[in-house]
Amino acid sequence: MKKIKLETTVTLYENYSSFSETEKLLFTKAKAACHSAYAPYSKFYVGAAVLLENGVILQGNNQENAAYPSGLCAERVALFYASATYPNIAVQAIAVTVFYNGKDLEDIVSPCGACRQVMAEYEHKSGKPITLYLLSANQQVCRIDSVKDTLPFLFTADILKASEGN
């Protein structure tokens, strides 16, 4: 038996002051998207904003449905919209924030596993890391430099290609 130690490095910021104007705009758009999410059942409103390499910022938010599995998370809405609208432009960054039951959350909330896997797909597709910003209501930011750092055993197309020979 062999044990493997996995480490992830994230950077925590106490406020937005050290970020560029583009990053601050990305954060503002994620928060705006959050407040217009459709979440009447869970009251868990999530907003995401995606920064593309061409400088375009697109928004997405969670969309719930009375048949719960039929809804979709904010991160996937934003990423699928970006890919449908700009299929050949790489995603540079994504910012995510949460509003719950009428209140902005003080805590940073991480994307679900399905969203991480979708982010990993777009990171793999472009061959470039996607910076992930997780935002709290009081302007704290968790910056993760690559989706790989959020999903250490990610499933990629390389695994499918490697399996073809078997």
Instruction: Name the more confident of 40 and 137.
Output: 40
104-117 pLDDT, tens digit each: 778 899 999 999 99
Give the Cα-Cα-Cα angle 137, 114, 66 (nearest 5 degrees).
80
**What are the extents of the domains in the chain?**
11-163
Rounded-to-integer distance, Cα 113 and Cα 115, Å: 5
Residue 31 structure tokens: 């928060």
Taking the C-alpha atoms of residue 130 and residue 122, their distance in angstroms, rounded to an integer, is 8
According to CATH, the topology of domain 11-163 is Cytidine Deaminase; domain 2 (3.40.140)
Prediction pTM value: 0.91
For 84, phi and psi rounded to 5 degrees?
Answer: -70, -35
| Residues labelled catalytic | 75
What would the two tokens of residue 21 be? 């104007």
Q: Which tens digits make up the pLDDT trace of 121-150?
A: 999 999 999 999 999 988 999 999 999 999
Helix (H, G, I), strand (E, B) or coil at 2: coil
Locus of tokens 């993760």: 144
Q: Rounded to an integer, what distance in angstroms lies between the CA atom of residue 119 and that of residue 128?
A: 11
The SS3 of residue 48 is strand
